[in-house]
Amino acid sequence: MDKRTFKNHAYGEIASLARAMAHPLRLEILDLLANGPKSVEEMATIGQASMASTSQQLQVLKNNRLVVAEKRGKQVFYALASRQVYDAWMGLKALTSHVNPFLDQYIRTFREPYGTEQSLGTATLSGSDYLVVDVRPVKEYLHGHLPDAVSIPMEQLAELSGSLPRDKRIVAYCRGEMCTYADEAVKYLREMGFQADRMDVSISEMLAK
């Protein structure tokens, strides 16, 4: 094999993997699976996509060894193939923020109506004046969560908000910067008279430390 053939083949393999990630729904799927395995039905519902489209994108990811599938009864559940897949997704997102300032602007613009343009960092939560609330589905909370965080899924927030302390600042988090549950939670809690803020946190990254 001559060196040009070698390089074309090697770079071609990397380009093929990059193409496998180059779709908005596929990236969202990787982000969702970082929070735990999910069925096709769950991902289709969250991504507001058809079952057929979601299945098609999952097959692309599976064929490129980015996700793995496991049959449980009549359902098939998908998970990230490895930690490296998550790192690649986060690296791509970080690179996009670095070279394209409009991504961060899109996020800030979306959050303006919720009043969550600024988010707290985990270092801020060192005192006892905060209550950290995980507003993801319970299954994702059980897969992994921040220490001392309590689980109040977004769909149960209105029902359970009466049990939250009014003498503490409520800090809500969900799946990370691209997730909107925490924005909705903060807006609702503030309307109910609570002191509330959003925290951007990647559970996969936190659990790996």
Residue with the bigger pLDDT between 46 and 209: it is 46
Per-residue model confidence (pLDDT) at position 119: 83
Average pLDDT over every residue of 13-18: 96
Tell whether pTM > 0.75: yes
Phi, psi of 170 (to 5 degrees): -90, 125
Q: Looking at the predicted structure, is the pLDDT value of residue 14 above 70?
A: yes
In tens, the pLDDT along 94-126 reads 999 999 989 999 999 999 999 998 887 766 666
Per-residue model confidence (pLDDT) at position 194: 96
For the chain, domains (ranges, CATH) are 3-85 (1.10.10.10), 111-208 (3.40.250.10)
Give the separation between CA 93 and CA 180, rounded to whole angstroms.
Answer: 17
| Residues in CB range of 61: below 8 A, 6 or more apart | 20, 26, 29, 30, 67, 78
Per-residue model confidence (pLDDT) at position 13: 95
In tens, the pLDDT along 18-58 reads 999 999 999 999 999 999 999 999 999 999 999 999 999 99
Per-residue model confidence (pLDDT) at position 207: 58
- Judged on CB neighbours under 10 Å (0-12, 13-18, 19+), 67 is buried
